[in-house]
Chain A
Amino acid sequence: MSEEIILRVRNVRKAFGGLQAIHGVSFDLAKGEILGVIGPNGSGKTTLVNIVTGFVKPDSGEVFFKDKKISGLQAHKIADLGVTRTFQIMRPYHSLSAFKNLIVPLNSPRVRRTRGGRLGDRDAVAIDILEEIGFERDAYVPYKMASSLPLGYLKRLELARCIALRPEVIICDEIFSGLSMAEIATMIPVVEKLQMEGITIMMIEHRLRELFRLANRVIVMNFGEKLAEGTPEEVMGDHKVKEAYLGTEAA
């Protein structure tokens, strides 16, 4: 893993009315790493994703992607640069079949530019991506309407839509939540493969055991602040983290 910093978040703050969702969070994302972000519900993890990807404007602070300031840009411009995300509440295009869902990112200006104009057979590219991520081609799952897909496939579809964009950074907002152990076991190699392909990944997750298998580094959020940062082992040994998760009365 190189030490090149691809994404730099500096002192971002965001308040929704009287609620201070994020109080001055800073962190770096090194190229090629998997960074885990954990924290109790309401600790500002999703708001942080929304700020980095431009869906929410920070009140102050800056976000840099490869030394270019991206805070303040519109969400589609940031995605166009190569920082994309999945959504915690899945957002499939339910009136389209699964593989047609990928035609949307495959038609984006970024893909048209990075892969030399129009792709050949985009339907085939879409189906290949889906198969790679675990849609059984033989069972015709890629041809089913997104509205009829079960949860496990919808989570995969979210990730597939990111992959189709050929991004440099993928931010996964709880892609494991609600999945069975068996389903997660098939998702982990997919994420590992993305890392091997050189994609930098930031994972927001509640499933700590699975996350710690994947993550190189972990950030712990609590009440909109960064509580701790380090390798999974360091973070789990931190007494502040235990307090945040279990409460101060813990024996």
Chain B
Amino acid sequence: MRTESLYALSSWREMAYLLMPRLVLILGLLLLPLVLSMYWQRVLCSAGIYALLALGFDFLAQYVGLVSLGGAFFIGAGGYISGALNAYLGWPPVLTIPIATITGALMSTLVLLPCLRLRGIYFAIVSFMFPLLAVYIIVALNVFRGTEGISALATFPNIWVDQYLILGAVIVSLFSMRRLVNEDIGLILRGIRDNDQAVRASGIDITSYRTKAVFIASLMGCFGGAYLSHLYGWLGISLFSMDFSILPIAAAVLGGMGTLVGPVLGAFILTPMSEALRGFGQLRVVLYCLILIGFIVYKPEGLMNYLQRKYHQFEHWEEV
């Protein structure tokens, strides 16, 4: 036996036991658009964006030890770059989204680079300021048409492209991240989270690894932003809205920190919930807070850790 996750697969039943949760998740996400009404299909698209942000937040917080409140900066950077390329140069979304994803992530990483030496709450505070800073710069200099924003950007051909593009991105990101955290780079990052001094004593440059991690997380956020600007065909300062920094954290708490899949599920639960509560007007925020407080107090481990434990109790495994 080498690892704790090595099992002898002797029957289809055992294979199914291991594969079922993954299949249910993937098929569930892919089939969702077929059963939803037009309105909820829109909600699904924005839930996907929050899912990407929550995934990035969970990765940085639980596997690298950087609590980032800069989700809105990733969305804004991605959204403004792809929107501007489309509005000023007339490039189609097929080009602008990949370019915005990469250049946006490079920009975000560059901006956060000086703060990578900071730990814990200090990194959180600094990363929280960048979206605010960006808004003030855009308004003060009146670039990209300031507070008005730019409308009539290219949109996707139909609502199916809208949905499957983001759902595909969520599924691919989720499984790549799950893989990454158990690869060599993931182990080193987890080492840095647990003890950065010990990693330095092993002759590894922790800043370069943190930089890579921030780049990976911002790739997901910037893709979300670029997608968002083309989803509504509009860009403006509300791309830097605090919702993009805060809701992913709530989703991660609800879904279960450190599981990666939990925050994604959390986003797909919280976003529709806040839509459903829209009818309550201002009271919606109160209900929303009550649900979150309830979770933090009574189930601090989050949904996913709870479900995983129950699932493992359901059928016990003999290790080889």
Contacts and interface: CB of A to CB of B under 8 A. Distances in A.
Contacts of A105: 202-204
Contact of A93 (B4, B198, B204): B198
B312 interface: no
Contacts of B92: none
A175 interface: no
Interface stretch (A37-45, A75-83, A187-195): A75-83
B200 A107 contact: no
Among B187, B198, B199, B202, the most chain A Cβ lie within 10 Å of the Cβ of B202
A110 B200 contact: no
B204 A76 contact: yes
A120 B14 CA distance: 31
A95 B197 contact: no
B201 A104 contact: no
Interface stretch (A14-22, A84-92, A236-244): A84-92
B41 to A, nearest CB: 39
A220 B247 CA distance: 58
Given A100-B187, A103-B187, A104-B187, A165 B203 contact: yes
A75 B194 contact: no
A143 interface: yes
A13 to B, nearest CB: 23
Contacts of A76: 199-206
A216 interface: no
A47 interface: no
Contacts of A79: 200-204
Contact of B188 (A77, A104, A123, A161): A104
A40 to B, nearest CB: 25
B194 A94 contact: yes
A223 interface: no
A161 B198 contact: yes
Contact of B190 (A55, A80, A96, A107): A96
Interface centre among A76, A77, A84, A92, by most chain B C-beta atoms within 10 angstroms, is: A76
A108 interface: yes
Contacts of B3: 97, 123, 143
B188 A107 contact: yes
Contact of B194 (A53, A77, A95): A95
A75 B200 contact: yes
B2 interface: yes
Contacts of A127: 2
B201 A93 contact: no
B194 A107 contact: no
A164 B188 CA distance: 14
A96 B187 contact: yes
Contacts of B202: 76, 79, 84, 104-105, 108, 161, 164-165
8 contacts: A55-B200, A75-B197, A75-B200, A75-B201, A79-B202, A92-B195, A110-B203, A143-B3
Given A77-B203, A93-B191, A140-B1, 15 more contacts: A55-B200, A74-B200, A75-B201, A76-B202, A85-B201, A87-B198, A87-B201, A91-B197, A92-B198, A93-B198, A95-B194, A96-B190, A103-B187, A108-B202, A161-B198
